[in-house]
Copies of this chain bind each other. A is one copy, B any other.
Amino acid sequence: MADLTARLAELVGDEHVLPGEEQPDYGHDEALGATPQAPAAVVRPGSADEVAAILKVAAEQGTPVTARGSGSGLSGAARPVPGGIVVSFERMNKLLELDEDNHVAVVQPGITLTELEERTKAADLVYPVYPGELSASLGGNIGTNAGGMRAIKYGVTRHNVLGLQAALPSGELISTGGRFVKASTGYDLTQLIIGSEGTLALVTEAILRLQPRLTQQATVLAPFGTLAEVTDAVTKVVKSGVAPLILEYIDALTMGAITYTNDLQLGIPDQVRDSSQAYLVVMLENADADRLDEDTEKLGELLTGLGAADVYVLPGPSARRLIEAREKAFWTAKAAGAQDIIDTVLPRAALPEFFTEVTRIQQATASGIVGCGHAGDGNVHLAIFQADDQARAGVLEQLFAAAAKLGGAISGEHGIGRGKKSYFLASTDPAKVELMRRIKQAFDPSGVLNPGVLFD
């Protein structure tokens, strides 16, 4: 270990190799219920070449490597293993280039969404992926293929990263993709690395696709009597062609919790609130204010026709606060004592049937299961309240089984990490898992990249 520390210090400088036991913050991410694990050392490289050199040394010595951005992940993929090192990208946090002609930003992985938002806003452009936690780093977003509320219009991280530079355990740096939206020039390594949770390569640079920033936005809140009505309305809003920026459902308990926690007054009369089991939140955007007004009106009529108790067009500040409160729903659930959360994804038309199953599981297991989610994408965020570990594992198994039966997958955007691994392995075709293992082997023959994430 002393030898490893010395070799790492040669590469990045003494001051950038920190003893792991003195750095408790690097021992966990935000996954609920996981026990923190101090790494052997925290290394803070300042360049892509340093990252590559660190990987080479780690591979030679068989030392596990866990990459870390802001540590805001929710599946434990940034929690190191005993004896392993954490490679923290906190110094590699620059926007390297804002290419306005090609609508592209070139960034280092440690840049936060907050900084990227500020820098692109100044150029009337936007990186349209908003996973909610703005302190998150782009590198972490790439690792988990982060999504968020705007995915219904702009897709998730995968759809907005055009190219990467990445370090391999061999000590080589490769570049993938480019400042263009398409290529048919060999295998798409960009897409393979995105969502691989630090198990294939460490991203040292990313080329992001930017969009023109549309300035006009309107937010509509529609309470419904039942959750089934809300999820049924989702399919019809998508079909209408109104092309929402955001299409979220929030169940009544979650709405109560986030409005209470955030001291949010939405002006909904008591009688409507009391008879509403769930809410649909729809945000529209446009470059043109008149068109936005027309679309908002059309949307309101549609929602009324679909059974909404009422339709509220929220004033700007209320809308912003509701969206912010929704983004913080995880923290609200955590504060309320939720023991776990899931973010399963399924065909959006299967949502009503899935929620019937959720209600059944909730009652059968005497658990609390409440939530909200990106209904337009079929991506459901549920907080699980069940203190008994074994019973809770059973709840998760049943929820994932219900999703799988309806054509879903375990995670829509948080990733598998260490926290959902057992469910992933239990529910995935062994031939597919074996193929993924062989792909892992192709990138990382010595198995040092985030061992224990995805696979055992």
Contacts and interface: CB of A to CB of B under 8 A. Distances in A.
Interface string A172-200: 11111011111111111101101110001
Nearest 8 interchain pairs by C-beta: A101-B349, A191-B191, A438-B442, A179-B347, A172-B431, A185-B409, A183-B409, A212-B241
Interface stretch (A81-89, A150-158, A311-319): A150-158
A103 B159 contact: no
B187 A192 contact: yes
A385 interface: no
Q: Is the interface of A mostly helix, strand, loop or mixed?
A: loop
A416 to B, nearest CB: 6
A143 to B, nearest CB: 9
Contact of A183 (B180, B191, B345): B345
Size bracket of the A interface: 35 or more
A24 interface: no
Contacts of A179: 346-347, 378, 407
Contacts of A377: 180-182
A350 B439 CA distance: 35
A16 to B, nearest CB: 26
Given A101-B348, A144-B184, A185-B411, 16 more contacts: A102-B347, A103-B238, A158-B191, A178-B346, A180-B345, A180-B412, A182-B377, A183-B411, A184-B416, A185-B409, A187-B192, A188-B192, A188-B195, A241-B287, A435-B442, A438-B443
Contacts of A393: none
Contact of A429 (B174, B183, B192, B410): B174
B347 A435 contact: no
Contacts of A407: 178-179
Given A431-B168, A435-B443, A416 B187 contact: no
Interface of A: 99-104, 144-147, 151, 155-156, 158-159, 168, 170, 172-176, 178-189, 191-192, 194-196, 200, 212, 214, 235, 238-239, 241, 287, 291, 345-349, 377-379, 407-416, 424, 428-429, 431-433, 435-436, 438-439, 441-443, 454
B436 A187 contact: yes
Contacts of A428: 185-186
Residue from A182, A412, A443, A454 whose CB has the most chain B CB atoms within 10 Å: A182
15 contacts: A145-B188, A155-B181, A170-B431, A178-B409, A181-B377, A183-B409, A184-B411, A185-B424, A187-B192, A187-B196, A188-B191, A188-B194, A189-B432, A212-B241, A438-B443
